[in-house]
Structure 1
Amino acid sequence: MTRRHLLLAASALAFAGSLPTYAQGAQRRIRGTIDGVSGRDMVVTTREGQKVTVRLAENVGVSGMRKLALADIAPGSFIGTAAEPGPDGVWRALEVLVFPEAMRGTGEGHFAWDLTPTSSMTNATVDSAVQANDGRSLTLTARGQQVRVMVPPDVPVVTLIPGTMDDLKPGAQVFLSATPATDGTFTAARVTVAKDGVVPPM
């Protein structure tokens, strides 16, 4: 296995283990900006304005993001998309993550998500992708359930890339799932961080 494949596998593991847990609601999703990192403790100001301390696991996995084009959402791709219900019964995407092939099947399903109060998350295979005037129309299949999603042209489309602890800098935006501790802190085994200007959109 090449170094690139090892890094991609590490990135996959860093992100993959979190999605089924999110669906079950056992942990708290934290979206926010890093205030500082001291040792294994990372202080984050959440999007709700709270300051929380996240204790990073010794072998914490760090992933970044790379932008893709709308056309990169192709039939056969395995994607994750947060979306809101549209008036026509078609979900409207808020973001799309095209999973690396090594992560195919990660967290497969359609379930509630907390990016917005009415959002869902669908991790599924793209059956069809048709370019339309108002974006890219997708038909997805997840565990036998078919979901239709419209992806507007301005919606972020990204994929995962490997990151390091050096990417966890003050001012960087992060997305993570963390386990609350009795002392009010949190612990996390993986972090997705903004890299080269690409912010985690999920």
Structure 2
Amino acid sequence: MPQHPPLPLSDNTPGPRPAPHRWVAPTLLGAVAGFLLFSAWIFSPGWERAFRSDNSPASWLSSALLLTLCVTALRLTAERCLPWRLGVWLVLAFGALALDEQFMLHELWKFRCHEWMDACRWSAVREVPMLAVALVGLVTLARLHRALSHRSTRCLLWAGFAVGLAAIAVDQWPEVLPYWPWLPEVPELLARLEEALEVMAEALVLGALLRQPAVTRTSQTTAAV
């Protein structure tokens, strides 16, 4: 007999919905926070080295989280917990971000693109990768919002986006100051914690994906009715 395709189950869908995996996100966030605190303690009194260097523990953890996001999106797509087009896009996007984090591709563009094209004399062109992450991320998360089945899971997703946006703002602030000198400078502590903000943003989004329950055949039938 033909099987019905998986249906996204939202808060407005009638009938019972599979419960989310509630314990996953707190456990993940606690583990990530513990890793960051332990790293700062190991490097103390120069604790900022745990966050600022490209070879820092925070940078390594960011790469690991992005790769985990890629694999998680692949699993959710294979289990029909996400629409397949969205799932494939998430796999490609998180995979690209993992490569960028590990091999510093956007830094390569920022500091070397002037050798390839004259347009890179403009800071906006040099910062295209970071700006694209914010804009494309917003569109992607809006689509993912509809695919997630619980309001609390969506809150985690948007919390991750907000923290990630804060990290991008901290990164881009020095580029903006020459044009808007009346703006205040970024607090030094916040600038040192930019990588930690990125890590927490990735952990929040990963927690949201890991909370997503499998869509069972019973749930699909109920939603279809």
- Same-fold call, TM > 0.5? no
Q: Which has a greater percent of helix? A: 2
Which structure has more relative contact order (CA 8 Å, sep 6+)? It is 2
Query: Is the strand fraction higher in 1 or 2?
Result: 1
Q: Which structure would you say has the larger Rg? A: 2
